[in-house]
Chain A
Amino acid sequence: MIFAVPVFPGSNCDHDMVNALRDVLHAQAELVPATTSDLSTYDAVILPGGFSYGDYLRSGAIARFAPVMTAVQAFAAAGKPVMGICNGFQILTEAGLLPGALQANRSAKFICQTSELIVRNTQTQFTTTYTENQHIQLPIAHGEGNYYCDAATLAELQAHHQIVFEYADNPNGSVANIAGIINRAGNVLGMMPHPERAVEAILGSIDGLGLFNSLLTNQGQEVTHA
C-alpha cells in the first residue's frame, strides 16, 4: 500500500506524516507536490496539516483548487481511501468531499493540547483496530477547528453513522462534539486531531497508530457493516 501525502505551500505536518508512515509503520509513503495531477499509482492519500496558501481567505479555501485536488476528487470518486488531518480536513470540507465547515474556535484562541476523543464508529476502514467507544488521546493544534453544519446535515451524519470521533471535553465549540467525520461512501475521513503526532511513546501517546494500522489492515477495502 503506497501513501501519497500532498504538499501545499504552507503545509507543515507533511514530514510528520511521512515519518509516521515510513519510520514507525514501515509503510511506503511519498510527498507529492500540489501541482501533481495524477495519483493513480497510489493506494491512499493523506492531506496533511498546516496552513495551506497561508490559509488566506479561509482555511483550505485556496488549496481546494490546487491541481492535486482535482486528482484527489477523482481518487475519492473511485472509492480509494482519502484522509484529511487538521488543515487537510478543512480542505476536504471546502472541496465538498465532506459536509459542513470548520469555523473559528469558540474561545477565539489557538488551541494546542492533548485532547481526549471517543471513537464512535469502528466500522470504517480507518478505525477497525479501535474498539467502539474507546477513549483515546490525540494532540490538537488549531485556531479554526470548530465544526459547524446545519441541523439537517447533522441529522444525516447521525443517521448514517458518519461521526467517527467525538471530543470527550469539547475544546472548540464543535457541533455535537464532532472531532472527525466520514463520507457516506466510507472512503473519505476528515479529523482535526493529529494521529501522526501520536505514534511513539516518547511523543506522549501511541493512540494515533490505530488509524494507520486500520488502513494498512483493510488495504483500501470497504468495511462491511455487521
Chain B
Amino acid sequence: MYLVKVYVTYKESILDPKGEAVNDALHRLGYTNVQSVELGKYFELRLTASSRPIEAEVDEMCDRLLANVNMETYRYDITELEAL
C-alpha cells in the first residue's frame, strides 16, 4: 500500500485570481508582509501496487485527470505504508 500526495499548481504564466483574492484578504487582516499567495489543489491517494511502476501510474493519472497540463503543473511524494 502506498500513500501518494499530489500537489497541482498553476504554471507561472497562468493568472491565479483566487490566489490574489486570498492575498488581498490576508492584507486586510493586517498581514501586509504577505508577498503572494498561490492557490492550488492537494490530493491524497491510497493505492496498492500494480504490475506497473507506481511513478508511471501516478504520472498518467495526473496527465489524464488530476491536472490540466495546458495550465497546471504537478509534483508528488510517494510513501510506502506498512501493512496493517
Chain A residues with CB under 8 Å of chain B are: 57-58, 61-62, 65, 93-94, 100-101, 103-108, 146, 148-150, 173
**Nearest A residue to B64 by beta-carbon distance?**
A65
Q: Is the CB of B15 within 8 A of A65?
A: no
Asked whether B20 is an interface residue with its Cβ less than 8 Å from the other chain, the reply is yes
Using Cβ atoms and an 8 Å threshold, which residues of chain A touch B20? 108
Q: Is the CB of A148 within 8 A of B14?
A: yes
Tell whether A103 pairs with B65 under 8 Å between CB atoms, given A108-B17, A108-B20, A148-B14: no
Partner of A61, one of B17, B21, B65: B65
Using Cβ atoms and an 8 Å threshold, which residues of chain B touch A101? 68, 70-71
Q: What 5 A-B pairs come out closest when comparing CB atoms? A: A108-B17, A101-B70, A101-B71, A104-B17, A101-B68
**Nearest B residue to A107 by beta-carbon distance?**
B17
User: Whole-angstrom distance between the alpha carbons of A104 and B14 in the complex?
Assistant: 10
Q: List 13 A-B contacts (CB under 8 A).
A: A57-B65, A65-B65, A93-B70, A94-B68, A100-B70, A104-B15, A104-B16, A104-B17, A104-B18, A106-B17, A107-B17, A108-B17, A148-B14
Chain B residues with CB under 8 Å of chain A are: 13-18, 20-21, 41, 65-66, 68, 70-71
Distance in Å: Cβ of A124 to nearest Cβ of chain B: 23
User: Whole-angstrom distance between the alpha carbons of A33 and B68 in the complex?
Assistant: 26
User: Whole-angstrom distance between the alpha carbons of A104 and B39 in the complex?
Assistant: 12
Distance in Å: Cβ of A224 to nearest Cβ of chain B: 31
Using Cβ atoms and an 8 Å threshold, which residues of chain A touch B21? 108
Using Cβ atoms and an 8 Å threshold, which residues of chain B touch A146? 15
Q: Is the CB of A148 within 8 A of B65?
A: no
Distance in Å: Cβ of A122 to nearest Cβ of chain B: 28
User: Whole-angstrom distance between the alpha carbons of A9 and B6 in the complex?
Assistant: 27
Distance in Å: Cβ of B31 to nearest Cβ of chain A: 20
